[in-house]
């Protein structure tokens, strides 16, 4: 009997020795380049539930929390992260604009690791979770969908939605209070993606009449899917049903897929008026293609779903951070208001043709994206043994070896807070985007061939919402008795607290919208 514990102990020793040897080889493969050395990999489930502990795990949301701090600590804008478990992993983290540009433009050397995105395949194969020829085909058909006609529709529908919010929901109220700003921004983004994405206008006063054969309205299915998608990603299918909320998530995904299938069949088998919503544009582009390049119904649904998720949550969260910053910095809010008023001096509402004139709105939006990038880490991998060059804190050139198979993370907050490119990077200074600014050091939409196709859609919607709201309402932080004695620094930290999610997610932003004394458009 004594032999069994001895055998188990020997097995554990051999396992630890094997891991140590693999870990040593991983460290040696990058010439022990400066960086993290941890037990658990950041990609491990355990790490995502741990607070940052030196030598154990970097912790959840560490990319945003670190910003450029660890690059400064290691004295180089490329640092490493080597972990031992579940398997030895070598990662190079980049905050050097030139190195990032090289990685993004060299797709054969640094392809996208699509195995990180398999969870996004539940509706069908799509442009995010693909590479090579498959990705080229998806991009060829998807790119024309994001047309100028669609951008015009985005602007027009957004203006209508905001106008309806002011008149039909907020009405004559002079002060509107919200415990969390996403309660305002999420439905706005939902309605815009419904109209400009699917060609289905959703009213603030929707009566929720169920169509025949459905258990949820399109609006409710879309709302549940976009707000609870994270549950779908992390909860196994067999467990979707254990609680009422999980059952609703399962039902919403089923219903949304049914709606999209019906819309495809309807538009493929009937003559309708010309539409410029994203869904119709994608179907038209697919119909115009020929041969093997045409997308299957599951691929059409998979791709439109990706555009839906990307467009909805990203817009809602970015606007929430934008309104928070303007509430915290009333001087910047006044500058923005006065500029909007100067553009709209004729008394007419903002039009799509006006959009290039709202330079201050764009500056505020971009500064928010710099400080709160929706995606904090962009993954790549090395397809070969190669290297990247950077400079250290003393200005000396450093060549960093990149072994084949190594993970590469474009550290977006590290880049956006890098003092080499941005003066006073921790300060909210929208005016930095009004003159010349370092475009290669601004990466909220990724870069290169894999850059976000929906960038113009996102910017058009965001600028329209920001401009409309700021022209008629002043934003302030909600005063709460329990925080009466806090300092500005404490208030700022509380209001801007965020967590990792599909995109960077504000935790709680309590705001007050106070109607300005002026005539509406």
Scanning 236-329, the segments in alpha helix (DSSP H) are 244-268, 278-288, 297-328
User: How are beta strands 386-391 and 505-506 bridged, if at all?
Assistant: unpaired
How many other CB atoms are there within 10 angstroms of residue 341's CB atom?
13
CB within 8 Å of 55: residues ≥ 6 apart: 37, 38, 39
Q: How far is CA 64 from CA 146, 284, 338, 389, 491, in A?
A: 30, 40, 32, 24, 19
- Check the annotation: does 452 bind a ligand: yes
Q: What is the C-alpha to C-alpha distance for residues 31 and 7, in angstroms, rounded to an integer?
A: 36
Written as six digits, the tokens of 325 are 């910053």
Q: What is the C-alpha to C-alpha distance for residues 18 and 13, in angstroms, rounded to an integer?
A: 9
By C-alpha distance, which of 126, 154, 118 is closest to 142? 126
CA angle 284, 286, 288 (to 5 degrees): 70
- Is 503:313 a contact under the CB 8 Å cutoff? yes
| DSSP character string of 410-453 | EEHHHHHT-TTTSSSTTS--GGGGSS---GGG--TT--GGGS-T
- Is 83:102 a contact under the CB 8 Å cutoff? no
Q: How far is CA 325 from CA 124, 318, 393, 466, 486, in A?
A: 38, 11, 31, 12, 17
CA dihedral over 177, 179, 184, 185, signed as positive or negative = positive
Residue ranges at the known binding site: 452
Residue ranges at the known binding site for heme: 452
């Amino acid at each position: 009997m004594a032999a069994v514990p001895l055998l188990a102990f020997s097995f554990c020793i051999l396992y630890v020795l094997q891991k140590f040897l693999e870990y040593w080889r991983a460290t040696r493969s990058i010439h022990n380049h400066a960086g993290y050395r941890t037990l658990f990999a950041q990609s491990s489930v355990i790490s995502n539930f741990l607070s940052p502990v030196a030598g154990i795990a970097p912790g959840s949301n560490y990319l945003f929390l670190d910003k450029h701090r660890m690059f400064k600590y290691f004295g180089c804008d490329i640092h490493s992260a080597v972990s031992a478990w579940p398997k030895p992993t070598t990662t190079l983290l980049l905050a050097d604009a030139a190195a990032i540009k090289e990685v993004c433009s060299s797709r054969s050397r640094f392809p996208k690791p699509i195995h990180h995105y398999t969870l996004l395949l539940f509706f069908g194969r799509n442009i995010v979770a693909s590479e090579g020829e498959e990705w080229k085909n998806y991009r060829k058909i998807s790119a024309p969908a994001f047309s100028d006609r669609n951008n015009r529709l985005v602007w027009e529908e957004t203006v209508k939605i905001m106008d309806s919010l002011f008149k039909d929901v907020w009405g004559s109220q002079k002060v509107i209070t919200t415990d969390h700003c996403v309660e305002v921004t999420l439905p706005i983004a939902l309605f815009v993606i419904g109209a400009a994405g699917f060609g289905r206008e959703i009213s603030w006063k929707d009566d929720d009449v169920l169509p025949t054969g459905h258990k949820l309205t399109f609006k409710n299915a879309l709302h549940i899917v976009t707000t609870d998608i994270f549950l779908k990603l992390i909860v196994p299918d067999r467990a979707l049903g254990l609680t009422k909320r999980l059952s609703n998530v399962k039902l919403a995904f089923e219903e949304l897929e049914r709606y999209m299938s019906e819309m495809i069949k309807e538009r493929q088998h009937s003559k309708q008026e010309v539409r410029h919503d994203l869904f119709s544009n994608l179907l038209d582009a697919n119909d115009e293609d020929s041969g093997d390049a045409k997308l299957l119904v599951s691929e059409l649904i998979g791709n439109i779903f990706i555009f839906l998720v990307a467009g909805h949550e990203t817009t809602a969260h970015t606007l929430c951070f934008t309104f928070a910053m303007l509430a915290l910095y009333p001087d910047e809010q006044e500058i923005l208001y006065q500029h909007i008023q100067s553009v709209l001096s004729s008394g007419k509402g903002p039009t799509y043709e006006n959009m290039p004139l709202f330079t201050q709105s764009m500056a505020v939006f971009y500064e928010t994206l710099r400080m709160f990038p929706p995606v904090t880490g962009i993954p790549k991998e090395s397809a070969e043994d190669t290297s990247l060059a950077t400079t250290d804190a003393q200005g000396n050139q450093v060549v960093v070896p990149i072994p084949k198979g190594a993970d590469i993370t474009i550290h977006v907050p590290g880049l956006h807070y890098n003092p080499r490119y941005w003066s006073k990077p921790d300060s909210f200074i929208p005016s930095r985007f009004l003159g010349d600014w370092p475009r290669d050091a601004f990466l909220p939409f990724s870069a290169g061939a894999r850059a976000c196709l929906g960038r113009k859609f996102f910017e058009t919607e965001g600028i329209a919402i920001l401009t409309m709201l700021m022209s008629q309402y002043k934003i302030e932080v909600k005063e709460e008795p329990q925080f009466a004695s806090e300092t500005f620094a404490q208030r700022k930290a509380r209001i801007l607290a965020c967590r990792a999610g599909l995109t960077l997610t504000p935790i709680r932003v309590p705001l007050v919208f106070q109607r300005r004394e002026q005539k509406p458009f």
